[in-house]
Amino acid sequence: MRIAAATAIATVLTLAVGTAAPAAFAGGAEPSTNGLWRMDGYGTVLALGHGTYQEYQTTSVSCLRGDSARQTGPGTYTAGGDVLTVRLARDRDHATLGAASAVGHRELVRVSALPAACTRPTPKGPPASFDVFWQSYEENYPFFAAKGIDWHAVRDEYRPQVHKDTTRAELFDIFSRMVRPLYDAHVAVQDGDRVFAEGRPGTEVPGEQLDARVKKFIVARDLAGAPYRRDFANGRITYADLSVDDRLGYLRISGFGGYLADEKASYAAQLAELDRALNTVLTPERSRHLHGLIIDLRINGGGSDALGIHIAERLTDSPYVAYAKRARNDPADPSRHTRPEPILVLPAHAPRYTGPVAVLTGGSTVSAGETFTQALIDRPGRTVRIGQPTQGVFSDVMERRLPNGMTAWLPNEEYLTDSGRTFDGTGIPPEVSVPVFTEEEFGEGRDSAFDRAVHTMARG
């Protein structure tokens, strides 16, 4: 599969001028989106009506209530600071669902009734929770074959260990042992404050302690002589001019979210804070004078893909496709997917920098940090990746609630290049490979990736 440039440009034009109402809606009021909807992929049914949005998480053996939201306008709902939008598509029986904080859309098909499992109570004992846990991965996880895992053999090994008297702690440990060999940082088991997750071997999933250690090292070593340095977005973004004449800039991004001290801040507020930072950094004068920009993503815990696309829009003067997004769409066949949706980068209506960029990555570049890295691969202009491969997890994370109140987390999507390639598992490789924050680098006061980027940008 290859995403043709003509398709991307056509989509850009459609977004720019708007889409005419489908013929079925012409001359009258648009039909309501209220009712029941099955989501392509994602194992979810939506119930919309009476001012509410209610998800039902379904498998062939279960149906459990998922997230809910309150209606705030025609086809719009608010949940946890995010805005969800449901819009009819080609007729009254087809619609799309989008979230402000995410990229892409989910296709919806109207259905007449909830699945039969939604009309009866779900058993809550350990065997039932095991069955829902296993089935959730069986129907949604796309990467068993790529990781060499026989999920049916896993069930055969662990299902006999679960019975009505299995304790909660024992069941948590069984679930953790089942998914540990996936080494997938988007796979997790949660029971209250207890969480199991495992990243790719040889990497460290970023946390506050690692981020603080690295930031202190960078400020002391790499930015000590910077004539201008400033933190933004609750400390998640740092910018520095590395030379007096403003010819080389450094932009460190440790996450695509958490930009405000208020943990419940809305996505709109996070976006506004990001724009405040970008408007301060990418002034018209600086954007003209910069001859190179280093973007440091080596410690990046992810967050909102949409915020990453928003930054990419400040780094181009022509539209292009960042990647295409698809989801597994057949409970019995992991090779079947939803139709890939191209995700576009459109030039921002604000000052933009379009010169050479060096992107620093490593094994602690995770999730939205990786999708942002991928969004820069085909960026018009000169872009080079320096460091080590990223973590290798790109999908939005599915939350699957279990009958006993535990939660399973797993990916079900792929982010494709224009040639149909994904980087799941392996991560995005650098074009220039150098050490990234090894103990040897710390001990000897070296930052090979930063130094290589400065040298590369200086050479043009």
Model confidence pLDDT, tens digit, residues 128-153: 999 999 999 999 999 999 999 999 99
Give whole-number Cα distances, 256 to 7, 366, 398, 430, in Å. 28, 10, 18, 21
Q: What is the pLDDT of residues 40-80, one digit of tens each?
A: 999 999 999 999 999 999 999 999 999 999 999 999 999 98
Which three-class secondary structure state does DSSP give residue 47? strand
Mean pLDDT of 249-265: 96
* Contact yes or no for 357/295 (Cβ under 8 A): yes
Please report, to the nearest 10 degrees, the dihedral formed by the alpha carbons of residues 207, 213, 219, 224 taken in order.
-170
Q: Mean pLDDT in the chain?
A: 92
User: In this predicted structure, what is the pLDDT of residue 122?
Assistant: 86
Mean pLDDT of 406-424: 97
Question: Taking 50 as the threshold, does the pLDDT of residue 390 lie above it?
Answer: yes
Q: What is the pLDDT of residues 3-43, one digit of tens each?
A: 333 333 233 323 332 333 333 444 445 579 999 999 999 99
Cα gap 5→453, rounded to integer Å: 31
Cα gap 363→422, rounded to integer Å: 17
User: In this predicted structure, what is the pLDDT of residue 381?
Assistant: 86
Cα gap 31→334, rounded to integer Å: 35
Mean pLDDT of 331-357: 96
Question: Taking 70 as the threshold, does the pLDDT of residue 165 lie above it?
Answer: yes
Length of the chain: 460
Report pTM: 0.92
Residue 109 CB neighbours (<10 A): 13
Cα gap 459→453, rounded to integer Å: 10
Question: Taking 80 as the threshold, does the pLDDT of residue 245 lie above it?
Answer: no
Cα gap 423→375, rounded to integer Å: 13
Cα gap 4→321, rounded to integer Å: 10
Cα gap 134→352, rounded to integer Å: 47
Query: What string of DSSP letters covers 387-454?
Result: ES------SPEEEEE-TTS-EEEEE-EEEE-TTS---TTT-PPPSEE---S-HHHHHHT--HHHHHHH
Q: Band of the pLDDT at 246, cuts 50, 70, 90?
A: low
User: In this predicted structure, what is the pLDDT of residue 64?
Assistant: 97
Cα gap 176→189, rounded to integer Å: 7
Q: Band of the pLDDT at 386, cuts 50, 70, 90?
A: very high
Q: What is the pLDDT of residues 276-329, one digit of tens each?
A: 999 999 999 999 999 999 999 999 999 999 999 999 999 999 999 999 999 999
Give whole-number Cα distances, 347 to 16, 309, 317, 357, 447, in Å. 12, 10, 5, 16, 33
More confident residue, 16 or 353: 353
In terms of DSSP H, where are the helices of 163-317?
168-179, 208-221, 267-281, 284-289, 305-312
User: In this predicted structure, what is the pLDDT of residue 459?
Assistant: 79
User: In this predicted structure, what is the pLDDT of residue 4?
Assistant: 34
The percentage of the chain sitting over the pLDDT mark of 90, rounded to a whole number, equals 90
- Tell which residue, 160, 39, 21, has the closest CA to residue 108: 39
